[in-house]
Chain A
Amino acid sequence: MSNIRQSWYEAGARERIAALVDAGSFAEFVGPEQRETSPHLGIFDLPAQFDDGVVVGGATLDGTPVLVAAQEGRFMGGAFGEVHGAKLTGLLRAAKALGRDVVIAFDTGGVRLQEANAGEIAIAEIMRGLVEARMAGVRVVGLIGGRAGCYGGGGLIAGCCSTLIVSEQGRISVTGPEVIETNMGVEEFDSRDRALVWRTMGGKHRTLIGGADVFVDDDAAAFRGAARAALAGSARPLSDRSASPHPFALSEVEGLGPIDDASTSLSTNERGGRPGLDLDTLAVEQARLERRIARFGDAADATDIWRTLGIDDPKAIPDMPSTAFATLAAQYRESADDAR
């Protein structure tokens, strides 16, 4: 039963990374022993966490070097603060410099109120770092399935990823349910109606409406498989891959090398199938979003959207088991048209 499967939802940040990467391959950057804690929380008499709620580092996935990050959703709701944000910004800049793909396990409610300015700036810098890495041919895969969901600035960052992998428990949005209710009234959105919250922002809906690309079970192994599949077909020739057991020494990052020139300007055709970020991609994504609004803008509830997609019994979706849902989604979901 649940004893056999490792729940992604239940797992902490470090457990998620351990489940994702090749055994023993993870080398942490700015780890807890360095005690780079928040310079702000003490003012509010709030306890800090040694890694400031995000674990970043290098590892291998099936032998391929990648950069990984996982937010700790249980610390301050996984919210972005100054140090937390800086670690992610640095990781993405390193990804561009090194030409390494990135996997990010999101679990965040957005920006920390106590570090609002630093947090908001960090969101912008992360988005910039992510986009520049993608323009250089790097893939950034987002994994969403934790307790805090992926809200606020996290939702914006997720929207910039090459691929989003989501489970049923995962939620992606910008504004959270309580804030919608406060601003628009309970008749418009009852935040305590959790079935409504998941219909509107949850993994199944995001998959069907095209807001997420891959739907998986709440299973760490499933997330791992989907991340690997998303990165299959490397952007760089095999000869560039490091063969050492710890392919990622910190000094490599600090020295910004070896830089792979070939990865800085690959076009869609030269990369292994998956489009990078260029003006064409953005144009296609813009068209997709416009089409989405045109098609679904009048829907009052997600079930209306699912019906429009051609699903006969939309009310059965929330309780549908994962495998059956994944099959249905493959057939009926909004097509991505090489966008993202």
Chain B
Amino acid sequence: MRQWNTRKALREERIAAGANFATGKLVQPETLVDFLEAVLRPGDRVCLEGDNQKQADVLAKGLAAMDPARIHDLHMVQSGVVLPEHLDVFDSGIAKRLDFSYSGPQSARIAKMLFGGKIELGAIHTYLELFARYFVDLTPQVALIAAVSADRQGNLYTGPNTEDTPTVVEATSFGSGLVIAQVGSIVDTLPRVDIPGDQVHFVFDAGKPFYVEPLFTRDPAAMTETQILTAMLAIKGLYQPYGVRRLNHGIGFNTAAIELLLPTYGEKLGLKGKICTHWALNPHPTLIPAIEAGWVEQVHCFGSEVGMEDYLAARPDIFFTGPDGSLRSNRAFSQTAGLYACDMFIGSTLQIDLAGHSSTITANRIAGFGGAPNMGSDARGRRHPSAPWLQAGAEADPDTAAPLRRGRKLVVQIGETFGEGNAPLFVEKLGALELAEKLDLDLAPIMVYADDTTHIVTEEGIANLLLCRTADEREQAIRGVAGFTEIGRGRDKAMVERLRERKIIQRPEDLGIDPLDANRNMLAARSIKDLMLASGGLYRPPSRFRNW
């Protein structure tokens, strides 16, 4: 006779074993490693937060300190491989298999370990895709999460950096898994309840806040004239003609420059209220001047950003906040917003090939995908129309009858033709292809596919791939904005001129922009201190950004 509650029964066993090291739900201090060894089983599927920003760092250290003879061959499923401990567990044999999304800070080490056979790779996902699988075939048996504080009943306050936690807990707890939370303190009354206590089984008081880094702060002092030029091109050549109001910016200096040009260059073009009103975006400090100048109606955030907490709490008309006043972020919903409720994604990449595929993977670094492929893709499940979406769709496919012609999300790659270390942005063969060959992968890890990409913006101009009708046109359109890279110098000059006549390529001069006009004086803020002043002192920049 089949048993139908085996998972619940196993969870009860884990809880009983863990109770030896806990008082109620609170794990006793100094017993973390023993506790983890008691509640885990070899081969468990474990989700460790591992978010883009916040890290359950104390739980990660505890996990890495376990005895691999007792607990081994774990299957880790996590958004972010960020801390050294996230990979230490593979080195020691505590973990064996990995499904993840983003590995930016560990991109070199994870590449070495994957090539060296130390990690059995399930797959690299986007954030939303991994979350989706938490509910289908990658449901965690144990989740190690990070929260700001808890009460004795296990209710959790996750605060501004709520990020992935509700999604992880939903899948784990209701899938009969065990939820263990690391918190900075235990309190009598929480500011608000983000995760109800009956979804949480154990709480560990780490005695200090969880680890979190400022990932979305870009210092305006580092912005170059070239980045400002690309930003001007984007605003005048894309935002204006398509009338983009709902959008997501991938993080980077080019997009940060766009944010800082809205109150100045955007104002000069008369675009306030017509573009950039609704955002799926982390709280970029560089958006402060635009918000203060009245450009922005609403922003939903994937996570928070160190130093922005007071500013966000003071702008509840713009940001999503709880009854306690602080930000509530939610990565899963922001990702969904980026997919279905935004008309444009614009971001940066490391390599673009002649078809228009782009990737951040190079020979020795595997950074994963994060959220970019969701943001940077055309959601074919979308049904509601909007002007930019319909306009792009018409450019891509002028022949189909309008009522049967879906729109297209604008998916824009922006960057300088030569990137960090003077490495060219444009290449013949992507490092991602070489990686696929090396690791014998079914799919090359492409960040944004060619058929999703609608435009490429460099300091040389804008390439509109929607208007290209052949692979040849596409290739020359890309070469035509590839500047002095080898790819750019290999262009068919005559064909590029013809593409320019058809406005498939637009140079700065075609848009009335002289590259010499790009000037740091155009930035609404030229330093981190300027951003702080623009926020009325509410933005408290982390120490690393201070020069006062």
Contact = CB atoms under 8 A, between A and B. Distances in A.
Majority secondary structure, A binding face: loop
Interface string A1-37: 1110001011000000000000000000000000000
A324 interface: no
Interface in A151-207: 168-169, 192-195, 198, 202, 204
Find the residue from B264, B520, B546 having the highest chain A CB count within 10 A.
Answer: B546
B262 to A, nearest CB: 13
A10 B543 contact: no
A133 to B, nearest CB: 32
B525 A1 contact: yes
Given A1-B530, A3-B264, A193-B543, A169 B548 contact: yes
B534 interface: yes
B315 to A, nearest CB: 19
A2 B544 contact: no
A2 B522 CA distance: 9
A337 interface: no
B521 A198 contact: no
A307 to B, nearest CB: 20
Contact of A318 (B525, B545, B548): B548
A1 B547 contact: no
A16 to B, nearest CB: 16
B524 interface: yes
Interface in B489-548: 520-527, 530, 534, 537, 543-548
A192 B546 CA distance: 10
A316 to B, nearest CB: 11
B547 A194 contact: yes
Contacts of A2: 523-527, 530
A291 B545 CA distance: 35
B409 to A, nearest CB: 34
Interface in B212-234: 221
Interface residues of B, number: 20
A319 interface: yes
Contacts of A169: 547-548
Given A3-B521, A10-B520, A198 B548 contact: yes
B543 A195 contact: yes
Contact of B546 (A7, A10, A147, A195): A195
A258 to B, nearest CB: 42
A10 B547 contact: no
Contacts of B524: 1-3
Interface in B153-181: none
A198 B547 contact: yes
B544 A168 contact: no
B439 to A, nearest CB: 37
B547 A192 contact: no
A144 B449 CA distance: 51
Contacts of B221: 10
B526 A10 contact: yes
A48 B329 CA distance: 50
B307 to A, nearest CB: 12
B308 to A, nearest CB: 16
A10 B527 CA distance: 9
B526 A192 contact: no
B295 to A, nearest CB: 15
A64 B521 CA distance: 31
Contacts of A168: 548
15 contacts: A1-B289, A1-B524, A1-B534, A2-B524, A2-B525, A3-B524, A7-B526, A7-B527, A168-B548, A192-B544, A194-B544, A194-B547, A198-B546, A198-B548, A319-B537
Question: Which 4 interchain pairs have the tightest Cβ spacing?
Answer: A194-B546, A168-B548, A2-B530, A194-B543
